[in-house]
Structure 1
Amino acid sequence: MSRPDIARLALALLAGLALGWWLRGRDAAPPAVPVAAVAAPADGAPDATTRAIPDTVPATDSAELIDNLAATRELLARWFPVLGSGDAHDGPDYSAERVFYDQFRLVDEALASLRPQTPGHTDLYVVAFAGDGDENVFRNEVEYVEKLFSERFDARGRVVVLENNPATVETRPLATWTNLELVLDGLLEQDRFDPDEDILLLFMTSHGDEDHDLYVGMDNLPLDWIGAEDLSEILNTRPFRWRVNIISACYSGGFVDGLRNSTSMVITAARADRTSFGCGANSDITYFGKAFFVEGLNQTDTFRGAFEIARQLIADWEAADEQQASEPQIASTPLIEAKLAQWRSGIRLGPPQPFAPAGAPAPSNQSSAKSMKQ
């Protein structure tokens, strides 16, 4: 179940329980229900920032409906951390207005730091997009991709990271529809990118739904989700001839048809009607991120080779966890395969890059993905 699905389910339970308490309170005052009778979540106590839940949650009359709503929300938060931790009235510890005001500056700075393209030479430019700002797993992935392509695939100075994460609102542009378009347009300016010569790699990681929309959000910021048709229009109306599109999300196979063409490669973490695995508050990297980037691209220098490694690893992990197979997808053509071979022939391949969560020191061995659905 995806994060938005969990949130909708939890909110429905909240409304139902609160209404039930209210209706019962109109006729009689049932005994108090000890909180101890409610099972704690499997992963232990709630976040330390969450308000203490009273020793009892009394059934009350309609005059106390609002208090019941708050108490119910706190109880649900013990099972559904995606509803947020901390006081229900607390906001983020940054100014949303200032964050939005800073976006043009942050995008400009990211573009200004890029190296210009090399005339007569095929360069690879990477745009990495982490849509969900409420789980660090997506930040971990895009920052690892930045490290991997900078150090191993000779793309230092040609990577732009867009990420939604409270820890990086002052240093990284947000992963938003608007910023994605600003960066793509910026690549085409000031000789940064030659659409006929260079390759654009766009990696997007987030939650996805059955309607093939990518979740884009952080705290209470009003951000627009990006659907399969939206992304196709964003890319197909711009003159990027050579493209590699990598989408890591549930149901991401629904993006393939709109993005594929004779000079593009499309790779997704799941087929159009399947979930993928490995996200969540307790995970450092998704199954697909670990299998394709950490394992695959550290063993081979080809995207197709990395995909085949990833497909087998993911199938093994899902079978071991008795999960329905996500079935990652790939769509490619001889033209883009030949262009990628031309790019590889002109770079100096660096050593494998170990994975570590964002902000942590590099480990001696690679991290393991946790078994949680995207």
Structure 2
Amino acid sequence: MPRRTLPVLVLIGLLQLLAGGAFADSPFRNWGATVIAGDWKGPGGGPTEAFDNARRDISAELVRLGFESGKILQYSVRPERYGKERLAKSDIRAIFEGMNQLMAQNPEGCLVYLTTHGTPQGAVVDQSILPPGILAAILDRTCGARPTVAVISACFSGVFVPDLGAANRMVLTAARPDRTSFGCGESNRYPFFDECFLQSTSSAQDFAALANQVRTCVAAREIREGVRPPSEPQVFIGPQIRPLLPLYAFPARSPP
């Protein structure tokens, strides 16, 4: 082996060791996460990639924040379209069963992110409506008493807050219970809320700060686009999880 290659190999080994050590110190290393794209159609009925783009890129961003990729379940209405990603089909029972298995092995925390269309009765999951009470029951059975972060990106998603709100949970929704959210059309890369979520993780310190930044970002985007009435994302933070959130700090984004 040429002598000049040894320092390069040593450097690669040190970087891998440091990366492994940093990951081992992540506060999310024993968390389980579930990220769901609940639909694939835009408001006009045509196809949109917005929900699956958000599902894919939010899952990747969770890995950057310190979640283990093997502990992130991803669901899509059209999993066969994204064959290399090894997705499961978006189905309420399948989501419950997957979360039940995942959370049995991850005792420290739980995150659920759903991006889809919404109605005043709940969120679209393929051909079904997922009502707030059913999602609350799923979280009760799977996440249990663990610190839990639930993010619902959908029109009228504020309807989830009363049922999901619990002492150990933080709930962030894309809209008030009586308002639509925006950006799920055929030409959108992401829904506005999901795009703001992705943009805000790099500067937020934790989930509480992230919620505030997402709300500010969404308001500014809606003003810029001239859409109204404003969606007004909702935030609920339970008294048990509130003092814990600073302990689940996000890593600083490395400079390019």
TM-score (norm 1): 0.55
Identity %: 24
Residues 35-88 of structure 1 show CA distances to partners (whole Å, capped at 9, x for unaligned) of xxxxxxxxxxxxxxxxxxxxxxxxxxxxxxxxxxxxxxxxxxxxxxxxxxxxxx
Report the Cα offset of residue 154 of structure 1: 4.3
Residues 333 and 239 (structure 1 numbering): CA distance in 2 closer, same or farther, change over 3 Å? closer
The residue that corresponds to 1:302 in the other structure is: 206
Kept after mapping to 2: 8 A contact 1:127/1:161: yes
1:161 maps onto 2:74 in alignment: yes
- 1:230-284 Cα offsets, whole Å, 9 max, x none, are 1112222345212111000000000000001111100000000000001111100
The answer to whether the 8 A contact 2:204-2:213 is kept is: no
* Stretches of structure 2 lacking an aligned partner (at least 5 in a row): 1-23, 42-47
**Residue 131 of structure 1 contacts residue 163 of structure 1 at CA under 8 Å; is this kept in 2?**
yes
Q: Deviations over 1:101-130 (max 9, x none)?
A: xxxxxxxxxxxxxxxxx9xx7633210011
Could you tell me how far 1:185 is from its partner in structure 2? Answer: 1.3
In structure 2, give the amino acid aligned to 1:343: Y
- Which structure's relative contact order is higher, taking Cα pairs within 8 Å and 6+ residues apart? 2
State the match for 1:275 in structure 2.
180
1:342 Cα deviation after fit: 2.6
Partners in 2 of 1:238 and 1:158 — Cα distance? 14
Q: What secondary structure is seen at the aligned counterpart in 1 of 2:89?
A: coil
Deviation at 1:335, TM superposition (A): 2.1
1:215-364 → structure 2 map (5 Å cutoff) = 215-217=124-126, 223-238=127-142, 240-241=144-145, 242-292=147-197, 294-320=198-224, 321-344=226-249, 349=251, 351=253
Q: Which runs of 4+ in 1 moved over 4 A?
A: none
In terms of fraction of residues, the more strand-rich structure is: 2
Offset at residue 215 of structure 1 (A): 1.3
**Matching residue's letter, 1:187:** L
Provide TM-score, normalisation by structure 2.
Answer: 0.78
Number of equivalences: 220
Relative to structure 1, the CA distance from residue 351 to residue 180 in structure 2 (aligned partners, 3 Å threshold; closer, same or farther) is same
CA RMSD of aligned residues (A): 2.3
Q: Which 5+ residue runs of structure 1 have no aligned equivalent?
A: 1-117, 218-222, 354-363, 365-374
Aligned residues of 2:111 and 2:149 also touching (Cα < 8 A): yes
* Equivalent runs, 1:180-195 vs 2, <5 Å: 180-189=95-104, 192-194=105-107
| Distance (Å, rounded) in 2 between the aligned partners of 1:318 and 1:336 | 30
Distance 1:305 1:201, change over 3 A: same
Instruction: Give the C-alpha shift of residue 285 in structure 1.
Output: 0.6
Structure 2: how far apart are the matches of 1:271 and 1:156?
A: 31
SS in 2 for 1:250: coil
